[in-house]
Amino acid sequence: MEILALILFLSVFLLILYGYPVAFTLGGLSLLYAFSFVSLDSLALLPQRIQGVMSNTDLMAVPLFIYMGLMLEKSGLAARLLETMALVFGARPGGLAIAVVVVGGLLAASTGIVGATVITMGLISLPSMLKRGYQPELATGTIAASGTLGQIIPPSIVLILLGSVLNVSVGRLFAAALLPGLLLVCAYMGYIVLHARLRPERAPAMPAQEVAAFRQKNFWRQ
Percent of the chain with pLDDT over 70: 88
**Cis upstream peptide for 155 (omega within 30°):** yes
For the stretch 79-135, pLDDT in tens is: 777 777 777 787 788 888 898 888 888 877 776 666 666 666 777 778 878 888 889
Is the model's pLDDT at 221 over the cut of 50?
no
Q: How far is 221 from 218, CA to CA, in rounded Å?
A: 6
Q: How far is CA 121 from CA 35, 129, 143, 149, 176, in A?
A: 43, 11, 7, 13, 27
Q: How far is 201 from 217, CA to CA, in rounded Å?
A: 29
Q: Which of 68, 157, 69, 65 is nearest to 116 (CA)?
A: 69
Backbone angles phi, psi at 200, to 5 degrees: -65, -25
Is the model's pLDDT at 217 over the cut of 70?
no
Helix (H) / strand (E) containing 65:
helix 61-75
Cβ-based neighbours of 194, under 8 Å, separated by 6 or more: none
Q: What is the mean pLDDT of residues 146-152?
A: 82
Q: What is the mean pLDDT of residues 186-211?
A: 86
For the stretch 31-72, pLDDT in tens is: 888 888 777 777 777 777 777 777 777 677 777 777 776 777
Q: How far is 98 from 145, CA to CA, in rounded Å?
A: 12
Q: How far is 221 from 197, CA to CA, in rounded Å?
A: 33
